């Protein structure tokens, strides 16, 4: 069952919360030694005891997993880094607060690429997570632990974070549903910052309707977050069944290059056929700035990471290396505390912000970002939804993409919508080489209702 199916069974007395928790922990006992989706877990008996008081609320005490860069008072928040290996926050993130208020419990914290910088969950200081569909392959990243937990049956739903595709790409590689909301729709309060102008919390679930339910709970304005949009929360579940008849779907030619291979291109043709069978119209469009999204994204996100991670200096948090002076202490602490990929991005970002290079690199990347946003706005004057693959390949093998550029290219189809700040969702779209291959749908800003409705219409026909 998906989350909503479990909630219905609980409300009708067909099952008990204790049975659901026992089932999840039985699965965890079987697959977690291989998959390694979690960095910390609650005690099942504690969840059962607390769940009695939550039975009357919307989420009825059901446990939900949370990515380990989202603040929780009752679990460490490590960000997959040595710097924070024993750090315990003193407050919950807004999204966690809202889940708890709706009756959910935090099941545990899931593994991720260190500080959410990666596309494979191989860059965690605590070891990689493996794809439940093939343990020799990656689950994607950086929310690989959340996606793997849901795909393996260890969790009914999970929260992830998406900066350039970190919810959608692992959802695609693991064969589950992942949503990146409009930037600012879900508050970032309590999300450890990577790139503040891009980071967004989103749900990873077994079904589109579960995604809609979780979004309904966590979305809405929070005055503690200066980037939070002043929007009224909606019930995104209510209009899922409206269908897509008469809607126009745009397939960018840049999202279906020959390099994808015949099997992937055949799946894209199938998606188009299903859309037309459901009453939609498919047209080819062009988003020519797609090729500039990757360099623009890595300049902007690395520059913001350089500034955000300056707080990890060896004075606060959990890593501090004694040295003869402050400068040496900071250098030694950061050398020990940060992993290789994080150091790479800090250096790239610091260089892009340095005197004489700011306008040449960071400033130019921001101008490209504005042009990409305008390009999407123009496309949405012609079509209702943009669609294409979530990732250029299915899950690749652990260690296969040692070259950083090859790894960065894994997010080539998710980066443009992140830069534009528009909502996007990945749903299972079939299989390539026997592995899950995701279909990405992109909608105009704050059109999550339309996006989820389209995803729900397609989900059943593509399963």
Q: Which two tokens stand for residue 257?
A: 């290059």
What's the angle, vertex CA 368, arms to CA 363 and CA 374, rounded to 5? Answer: 130
Do the bridges between strand 248-252 and strand 281-285 make them parallel or antiparallel, or are there none, so unpaired?
parallel
Query: What span, in angstroms and rounded, lies between the C-alpha atoms of 231 and 234?
Result: 9
Count of all residues that appear for the chain in the document: 463
Q: Is 216 a catalytic residue?
A: no
Given the residues 142, 216, 302, 410, select the one marked as catalytic: 142
Q: Is 431 a catalytic residue?
A: no
Question: Helix count (H) and strand count (E) of the chain?
Answer: 15, 11
Which residues, at least 6 apart from 273, have a Cβ–Cβ distance to it below 8 Å? Answer: none
Given the residues 40, 48, 67, 109, select the one marked as catalytic: 67
Asked if 149 and 121 count as a contact pair (C-beta separation under 8 A), the reply is: no
Query: What span, in angstroms and rounded, lies between the C-alpha atoms of 93 and 35?
Result: 26
DSSP 205: E
What's the distance, Cα to Cα, between the start and end of the chain in Å?
Answer: 15
Which residues, at least 6 apart from 223, have a Cβ–Cβ distance to it below 8 Å? Answer: none
Given the residues 81, 124, 161, 166, select the one marked as catalytic: 166
Query: What span, in angstroms and rounded, lies between the C-alpha atoms of 285 and 259?
Result: 18
**Ramachandran region of residue 59, left (φ > 0), alpha (ψ -120 to 50) or beta?**
alpha
Q: Is 166 a catalytic residue?
A: yes
Query: What span, in angstroms and rounded, lies between the C-alpha atoms of 192 and 83?
Result: 13
Coil, strand, or helix at residue 230? coil
CA-nearest of 436, 438, 442, 437 to 454 is 442
Residue-wise over 272-284: b if at least 16 C-beta within 10 A, else e? bebbeebebbbee
What is the chain's alpha carbon radius of gyration, rounded to the nearest angstrom? 21
Asked if 119 and 152 count as a contact pair (C-beta separation under 8 A), the reply is: no
Active site residues: 67, 142, 166
């Amino acid at each position: 069952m998906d989350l909503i199916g479990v909630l219905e069974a609980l409300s009708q007395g067909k099952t008990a919360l204790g049975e659901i928790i026992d089932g999840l922990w039985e699965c965890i006992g079987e697959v977690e030694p291989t998959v390694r989706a979690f960095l910390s877990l609650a005690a099942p008996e504690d969840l059962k005891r607390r769940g009695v008081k939550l039975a009357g609320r919307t989420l009825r005490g059901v446990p939900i997993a949370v990515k380990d860069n989202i603040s929780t008072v009752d679990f460490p928040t490590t960000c997959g880094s040595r710097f924070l290996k024993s750090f315990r926050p003193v407050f919950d993130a807004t999204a966690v607060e809202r889940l708890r208020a709706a009756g959910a419990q935090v099941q545990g914290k899931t593994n991720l690429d260190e500080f959410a910088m990666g596309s494979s969950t191989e860059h965690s200081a605590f070891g990689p997570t493996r794809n439940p569909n093939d343990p020799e392959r990656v689950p994607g990243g950086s929310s690989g632990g959340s996606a793997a937990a849901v795909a393996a049956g260890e969790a009914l739903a999970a929260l992830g974070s998406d900066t350039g595709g970190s919810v959608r790409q692992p959802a695609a590689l693991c064969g589950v549903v992942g949503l990146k909301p409009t930037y600012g729709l879900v508050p970032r309060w309590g999300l450890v910052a990577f790139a503040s102008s891009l980071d967004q919390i989103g749900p990873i679930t077994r079904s589109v309707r579960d995604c809609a339910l979780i979004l309904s709970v966590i979305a809405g304005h929070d005055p503690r977050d200066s980037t939070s949009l002043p929007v009224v929360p909606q019930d995104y579940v209510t209009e899922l069944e409206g269908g897509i008849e008469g809607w126009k779907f745009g397939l960018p030619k840049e999202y279906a290059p020959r390099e994808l291979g015949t099997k992937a291109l055949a799946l894209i043709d199938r998606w188009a056929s299903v859309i037309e069978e459901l009453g939609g119209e498919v047209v080819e469009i062009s988003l020519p700035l797609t090729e500039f999204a990757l360099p623009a994204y890595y300049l902007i996100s690395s520059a913001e990471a350089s500034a955000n991670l300056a707080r990890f200096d060896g004075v606060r948090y959990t890593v501090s290396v004694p040295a003869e002076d402050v400068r040496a202490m900071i250098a030694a602490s950061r050398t020990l505390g940060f992993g290789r990929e994080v150091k790479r991005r800090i250096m790239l970002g610091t260089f892009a912000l340095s005197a004489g290079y700011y306008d040449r690199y960071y400033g130019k990347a921001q101008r490209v970002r504005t042009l990409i946003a305008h390009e999407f706005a123009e496309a949405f004057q012609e079509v209702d939804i943009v669609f294409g693959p979530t990732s250029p390949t299915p899950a690749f093998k652990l260690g296969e993409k040692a070259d950083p550029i090859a790894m960065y290219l894994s997010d080539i189809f998710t980066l443009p919508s992140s830069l534009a700040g528009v909502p996007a969702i990945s749903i299972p779209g079939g299989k390539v080489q026997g592995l899950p291959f995701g279909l990405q749908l992109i909608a105009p800003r704050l059109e999550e209702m339309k996006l989820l409705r389209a995803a729900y219409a397609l989900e059943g026909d593509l399963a």
